[in-house]
Amino acid sequence: MNQELTLSYHLKVNGVDREVCGADYTETLLHVLRYRLGLTGTKEACEDGQCGSCTVLIDGQPVNSCIELAAEAQGTAIMTIEGYNRPGGELTPLQKSLVKHAAVQCGYCIPGLILAAEAFLKENPGATESQIRSGMDGNLCRCTGYASILAAISEAAKESHAS
């Protein structure tokens, strides 16, 4: 790697200012999160923005980190699944609903799916199943067949709308 083409910058990840040194300007946010910062909850799958496994929240909005340049995320608030999880290990209402409906099988898609669903539900409390189907388009799961995922997110939507 040519030293003249490297960057050093700070990213705010899960509320913590993290320094990234000697990074290539073409490194994706996914690569920086996993391999430079050790945040492996963000999953690496398709690497072209099609599956949603790498979804993180940037300023509260879901982003496919596999196609986002890390250096472009400077000055934003990035949340990974590690930042979404509660410090004491207690599950969030969405996580509880996913477990209750047996929506987690291999678990590979779940970190990105949770973050995408959380952002969707925040903007669409009380969403209908049809709205959820549309809103979660872009988050693929090879194991569950989606019925249990839709049921879990629908339940979480009803609970978020009631509170």
Q: What's the pLDDT score for residue 3?
A: 55
Task: Give the architecture-level CATH label for domain 3-83.
Answer: Roll (3.10)
For residue 23, the Cα-to-chain-centroid distance in whole angstroms is: 22
Q: What's the pLDDT score for residue 23?
A: 94
Q: What are the DSSP calls for 123-151, one per residue?
A: HSTT--HHHHHHHTTT---SSS-SHHHHH
Protein fold of 93-162: DNA polymerase; domain 1 (1.10.150)
Judge residue 57's burial from the number of C-beta atoms within 10 Å of its C-beta, 0-12 exposed, 13-18 middle, 19 or more buried: buried
Length of the chain: 163
| In the chain, domain spans | 3-83, 93-162
In this chain, the answer to whether the domains covering 3-83 and 93-162 adopt an identical fold is no
Q: What's the pLDDT score for residue 45?
A: 93
Q: What's the pLDDT score for residue 43?
A: 96
The span from the CA of 163 to the CA of 146, in Å, is 26
The span from the CA of 145 to the CA of 152, in Å, is 13
List per-block mean pLDDT (blocks of 10 residues) for the chain, which spans 163 residues: 78 98 95 98 94 97 98 98 92 94 89 96 93 92 86 89 65
Q: What's the pLDDT score for residue 5?
A: 77
Residue 121 DSSP symbol: H
The span from the CA of 20 to the CA of 95, in Å, is 31
